[in-house]
Structure 1
Amino acid sequence: MANSIGIRSAVLVFALLASHGPLVHADEIDLVEIVRNPVIGNYKGYAEFKMAHYDNARMIWEALAQRGNADASFNLGILSEDGLGEPQSMPEALRHYEQAAEAGSPRAQYRLGLLYSAGVKIPKDDARADRWLTAAAAQGDTDAAARLALRNAAHRTPRDQAFYDAETLHAAGQYSEAAAIFQRLAQAGDTRSQSRLGWMFEVGQGVPRDLDQAAVLFRQAAESGDADAQYALAVMLQTGKGQTRNPEEADAWLHRAAAQGHVLATSALKKGVAR
């Protein structure tokens, strides 16, 4: 299973589907229904996030996080780390990431591994970096496994080294520098970099915020088999954000992501949110 920057974003995930109603104002969000259906709730949070409605996204994710939802805690960490709709705060981001990681979120575990490896936003700690990367890799996270291997490798391919460097720069908050490397690798056909860059265009990290360009990159990576990109593209196709709405194609991409073990895609299909 790959990671979104934020990857969060993955990071980086979760949209209000048109079949469940249009985007709403904060006072119209039904938190009771969101808590009752966390998968749909997280979907709604991601849709608000895509539209830069960060207060709405936070309201949804806080309601879910208070009930132990690891995905929601991870997403709150993204808002705090990047200062999206709130003052930037690494202590708050770290609190959310650790809560999510302890609850078993591989995306949070991977993010903590990156942050402790970079040692810029928080003090460098190789032991903690290895602990969280190992935890994520044990859950099948291929990015975490690859980073562990690269951290201990005597020799790396130039492409792997460049990707490793870009991930480290991103974790250090040097978004423009990271984006430049991801762009070079993406143009050379590197699937991971296409997906990473898509998330950066979606948020506007180191590049202008551009959902159309994010969709182009997600589609390139999705067609090459990246599960995170397949999921992100499915959300866009279902909501009509960055792509013309196409529920049938969205469902197809969700199935392709789920076939690779993508947890969020699998949960979405079980809840029938794409139908």
Structure 2
Amino acid sequence: MIHPRTLLGAALVVLTSVSQAQDSHRGDWLRNPAMGNYKAYAEFKMAHYAEAREVWETLAEVGNGDALFNLGILAEDGLGEPRNMKKAETLYTSAAQAGNFKAQYRLGMLYSAGTLLPRDVEKARVFLTLAAHGGDRDAIATLATLGQPAASLTPYQRAEFLGASGEHTKAAALYRQLAEAGDRRAQTRLAWMFEAGRGVPRDLSEAALRFESAAVAGEAEAQYALAVMYRTGKGRERDVAQSLVWLRQAAGQSYPPAVAALASSQSAGVGL
């Protein structure tokens, strides 16, 4: 008969090993935040939200803007946790202050729309200006029409405001119309919606098709997303060589996550 103390000792050994492995992973992510974010995004694509959150929370502890922004997405959409716009606002603000242009743009849109967060045109202007100074083309276009009647907005801008107002089904329908007319930005936005199940049923295969269409048309954000799909085998059959092709194309357009991921893999002397 196995003595209880023997079982307890074995359990403690297992728990210690798990803890040491977790600490090792945390150390790896902190030493190489770009690869940590890449791993977390891959987990996100597979709907492994708890695993993605673990990585992003580790990086958020040291003020990583990408991680803070992505945690905001989880909170806003209620992915793997209860939906919490106040928490999302706090995370987006921290990410924006860390220089994340996506968070700056998202806050600008949320404050401008005034549905999911209280309307505040001045805050919207501040965050959109920050994003515009960073070269975000959508922020630049939105600043030009901030405070103007809805009739003055382009169809793409109307879709963006619908999304910022939580009307994701209507936003997806408008993005679809624009994508079918050849708008690669709208195609990319719609692909994200299929990936997250925002306003449309979650469908990784459909997301991959739309990311690829936008990527071939030269959209850096879509090229990066497609690279991760080929790397993880989610939405596309796993193909590391193809992943590197798209990652390099996105990095060649100075898309920040792609630049960071490619530089990290090269400095480590390994492929992704």
Q: By the TM > 0.5 criterion, same fold?
A: yes
Distance 1:27 1:226 in 2: 41
What root-mean-square deviation, in Å, do the aligned CA atoms of Structure 1 and Structure 2 show?
A: 2.1
> Which residue pairs with 2:186 in the alignment?
193
Q: Which residue identity does 1:113 align to in structure 2? A: G
**Residue aligning to 1:169:** 162
Whether the aligned pair in 1 keeps the contact of 2:125 and 2:146 (CA below 8 Å) is: no
In structure 2, the partner of 1:36 is 31
Deviations 1:50-94 (A, max 9, x none): 111111111111110001111100011001111111111111000
The runs of at least 4 aligned residues of structure 1 exceeding 2 Å deviation read 25-29, 149-157
Q: Does 2:203 align with 1:225?
A: no
Asked if the contact 1:204/1:210 (under 8 Å) is kept, the reply is: yes
| Segment of structure 1 superposing worse, 247-256 or 61-70 | 247-256
2:66: which partner in 1? 71
Between 1 and 2, higher relative CO (CA 8 Å, sep ≥ 6) is seen in 1
Displacement of 1:150 in angstroms is 3.3
CA distance in 2, matches of 1:246, 1:184: 31
Closer/same/farther in 2, CA of residues 241 and 27 from structure 1, 3 Å limit? farther
Percent identity, please. 51
Q: Deviations over 1:12-58 (max 9, x none)?
A: xxxxxxxxxxxxx9996522211221111111111111111111111
Which of the pair has more CA radius of gyration?
2
SS state at 1:35 partner: helix
C-alpha displacement at 1:151, in angstroms?
A: 2.8
- Which structure 2 residues correspond to residues 196-207 of structure 1 after superposition, within 5 A? 196-207=189-200
Partner SS state of residue 128, structure 2 = helix
What displacement does 1:162 show?
1.3
TM-score (norm 2): 0.86
In the comparison of the two structures, how many residue pairs are matched? Answer: 249
Taking a change above 3 Å as real, the CA distance of residues 44 and 125 of structure 1, as seen in their structure-2 partners, is same
Letter of the 1:218 counterpart:
F
Judge conservation of contact 1:150–1:156 (CA < 8 Å) in 2.
no
Deviations 1:166-205 (Å, cap 9, x if unpaired)? 1111111111111111111111111111000000000001
Q: Which runs of 5+ in 2 are unaligned?
A: 1-17
In 1, the alpha carbon distance for the partners of 2:131 and 2:20 equals 37
TM-score between the two structures when normalised by the length of structure 1: 0.86
Counterparts of 1:1-275 in structure 2, within 5 Å, are 29=22, 30-151=25-146, 161-272=154-265, 274-275=271-272
Q: 1:165 to 1:26 in 2, by over 3 A?
A: farther
